[in-house]
Amino acid sequence: MKLKLRKQVLNEMKALPQEQKQFIDQTLTERLLHHPFYQEAKVIATYLSFPHEFQTQELIDQALRDGKKVLIPKTYPKGLMKFVVYDPQQLVKTSFGLLEPQGDLEVVDASQIDLIHVPGLAFTTEGYRIGYGGGYYDRYLEYFSGHTLSTIYPCQIQDFIPENHDIPVQEVLIDERNL
C-alpha cells in the first residue's frame, strides 16, 4: 500500500510541468517565510531537495539573509539522522545523487531547533506523512518538541491510514489555488 502510494505520488511530482512547479515553489516559499513558525524561529532545519521536490534553496538563502541558523540533515547507519549547520562548502553528492554534508560537521541538538521543515511524498490533511521509507524523520520527530511543517504540491495530499509510529507534522502548507 505505502509502496504503491509512494510510486504514484513520485510519478505525479515528476510529471509537474516545470513552469507550474516553479510557480508553486515560489508561492509556498512566500507562505513559509510569512508563517509565524518561521518568523519566530532562530534555528531552522530544512533539507536539500531532489529535483522533483519543493525546492528549498530559496528558503535556505532567505533564512541566512534573515540571520537565522540553517541546519540540514546528515544520515548515519541504523536509521540515525542528525541536523548539522548548513555550509555549502561541505556538500558532497551521495550515491543517491543527493547533496549531503561531509567533513567536520557542527551537529545541533534537537532541543536547540525551533522549526523543522519536513520532507515527504504523501501527506494527509492532518499532517501524517509517507516519506521515502527510511524512517529517519519519524524517529527524529518522536522526541522533538519544536514546530514542524511541510510545503507540498496538491498531488501529495492523499488518503491513507497512518501507522502507530507515524509522527504528523503540525502544519502542511499547500498551494490551494491549484487544488
The domain tally of the chain equals 1
For 22-65, the pLDDT digits (tens) are: 999 999 999 999 999 999 999 999 999 989 999 999 999 999 99
Q: Beta strands of the chain (E only): which ranges?
A: 43-45, 69-76, 80-85, 91-93, 99-101, 107-108, 115-117, 122-123, 129-130, 147-152, 171-174
Condensed to tens digits (0 to 9), the pLDDT of residues 157-176 reads 999 999 888 899 999 999 87
Please give the pLDDT value at position 177: 65
pTM of the model: 0.94
* CA dihedral over 127, 144, 130, 35, signed as positive or negative: positive
pLDDT at 30: 96
For residue 79, give the CATH number of its domain.
3.40.50.10420
pLDDT recorded at residue 20: 93
Q: What is the largest CA-CA distance in the chain?
A: 44
Residue 178 has pLDDT above 70, yes or no: no
Cβ neighbors of 25 (< 8 A, separation 6 or more) are 54, 55, 58
Expressed as residue numbers, the domain containing 97 is 2-178
Mean pLDDT of 123-136: 92
Give residue 94's pLDDT: 79
